[in-house]
Structure 1
């Protein structure tokens, strides 16, 4: 007999995906892994910030993947229901405890067709070389095109890969996949602690300074929805040590000298990036672990990752590319310009060079085509070019400072000497380069305080670009 004060309440009904295709409907085309569109059902409980709000208002304001007109039609036609039942109008008020269900026709973006490399495998752990262009977990617009689901499809439907660290979708390199929970928890604990050291390789604009370059600027998350982070005094502490491995000047450097500033101005003529001749290969040793830490610190130092679609984008940050970002920047303008990338404009990874834009626009790039799906009216995107699926950032090495294990990959192709140049083909081997750097720089007394959720650029993609992760187990 239930207590009058705490009566038993049946949980709201949930709906399940009408079909769960297996094997996943992958196909390869033009160097991309694609997924045939499929129907999928999300179930999510009312969030606290949704209480007392209209159903359409929640969808229109929380999710940016589809226009409000799509959600209005889905509610009217019963593809969005509350507690298993259609609602009388789009103005239906959501209250605490409600279960919201949305069945939709999913269109996943293509990803790279490059296979997932196996660096090491034993009974407990798989160490992989993650390709750029793949998210780790199903999230936002991605489900089957994720590390987890691709590995599951390669092995068996019942296998449950357990990632121990995460890399940003655009980043490649070392990742640890536990085969069982105990192994995953033990490795995750090591990575969160101070016993695991990491080395990344990147390619940046211009001639990066020689020697050990330390950046200790705090980082603040400006917009999780857009994946934007900046150096800000009120951000979380962050520390990275950088060491240049190679510099490759352009071959025409002598014929086309750097531009000089106007007399008495102290400023270069034209755009700031025009004085950034050539590019550098840089080793990165993150001490703390903040979202986009390496990308943000490199931008602040004036040497952003060469093809970073956010932090090296002149259309977003202007002529200086965000160098030495200041508190008085108009963050609303920055976010507005960033939000247009891939919508009204090409989602360009190299648009910081104005004279390259026309040429770039002729290449394949992901943007809205103006067409819609015959089944669900979803706006359709063109395919991204393979060059858009990653940035020049690679997690090359993870190693235990106690010497228990050490895993590394070779340099990616973009970090090797270009044709006609001589240069390093592998980093200088040191017993513990990060410890040496910190000791030389007088930083070894500072405690590493890693973020419990992310390490270096090991952040998942921005928050929901499509739908919330389902509360009832529908991933």
Structure 2
């Protein structure tokens, strides 16, 4: 536990820190006693000033930012809220997907099947994802495609639902992929690779990178 920060730290200054979140761990605690082990609790044990700014799904890995001052938390949070950050994810999806495009379909929570979300074109809150196919290969004899994903909005499960909506779920996705597609990877192949925003004090653009582990 004590070396979690040293193992995963990408950047730290007096106002915020950037870490590499491993897959399989929650960003914040869940509602039950068995879901209390999470990134923010691990960080609070080491650095009590840690403040939440944004989250990644439990099964998504990659770049995660936490405040270390109220000033840093407020300035960076506002950039997330106002869509002034730039986020790039990498994913491996089922099937052969060519070219590039945009999915512009709202994503909403499905109360009949928690924790699932669904694409719902009639909903009034937009969800927008740009995608670009970058590589084609096979896993276990099945065609898969590596894609670069750029979310413009930040809805829960947005990238996972949008890839399912395209007919190319992310492999290893236990919520949105078929059983066969889940078996193509031991983990959800979704990773937050790059994050850019303006430094809360200098207001200069800064860019963070975290290598894709799959």
Q: TM over 0.5, yes or no?
A: yes
Relative to structure 1, the CA distance from residue 396 to residue 123 in structure 2 (aligned partners, 3 Å threshold; closer, same or farther) is same
Shift of 1:223: 2.2
Distance in 2 (alpha carbons) for counterparts of 1:353 and 1:209: 18
Residues 148, 161 of structure 1: 8 Å contact kept: yes
Distance in 2 (alpha carbons) for counterparts of 1:289 and 1:353: 25
2:29 to 131, 138, 142: 138
Shift of 1:234: 2.6
Relative to structure 1, the CA distance from residue 114 to residue 134 in structure 2 (aligned partners, 3 Å threshold; closer, same or farther) is farther
Which residue in the other structure is 2:209 paired with? 408
Q: Secondary structure of 2:92's partner?
A: strand
Distance in 2 (alpha carbons) for counterparts of 1:118 and 1:352: 35
Distance in 2 (alpha carbons) for counterparts of 1:300 and 1:202: 15
Answer with 1 or 2: which has the greater Rg.
1
Tell me if 1:214 matches 2:102.
yes
Distance in 1 (alpha carbons) for counterparts of 2:88 and 2:42: 26
Note the aligned Cα RMSD (angstroms): 2.8
2:41 to 119, 127, 149: 149
Q: Can you give the 5+ residue segments of structure 2 that lack an aligned partner in the other structure?
A: none
1:190 to 71, 75, 79: 79
Residues 87, 150 of structure 2: 8 Å contact kept: yes
Q: Secondary structure of 2:180's partner?
A: coil
Tell me if 1:228 matches 2:116.
yes
More strand by percentage:
2
Residues 203, 306 of structure 1: 8 Å contact kept: yes
More divergent stretch after superposition (230-239 vs 125-134): 230-239
Residues 116, 128 of structure 1: 8 Å contact kept: no
Distance in 2 (alpha carbons) for counterparts of 1:308 and 1:250: 15
Which residue in the other structure is 1:391 paired with? 188
- Deviant stretches of 4+, over 6 Å: none
Q: Secondary structure of 1:391's partner?
A: coil
1:291 to 156, 160, 166: 156
Q: Can you give the 5+ residue segments of structure 1 that lack an aligned partner in the other structure?
A: 1-25, 27-112, 253-276, 314-350, 361-386, 415-475
| Cα shift readout 1:412-436 (whole Å, capped 9, x = no counterpart) | 1x1xxxxxxxxxxxxxxxxxxxxxx
Q: Secondary structure of 1:226's partner?
A: coil
Residues 115, 131 of structure 1: 8 Å contact kept: no
Matches within 5 A, 1:248-287: 248-249=137-138, 277-287=142-152
Shift of 1:304: 0.2
Tell me if 1:352 matches 2:163.
no
Q: Secondary structure of 2:110's partner?
A: strand
Distance in 1 (alpha carbons) for counterparts of 2:194 and 2:79: 15
Residues 163, 178 of structure 1: 8 Å contact kept: yes
| Cα shift readout 1:377-423 (whole Å, capped 9, x = no counterpart) | xxxxxxxxxx4xx41111111113785211111121x1xxxxxxxxx
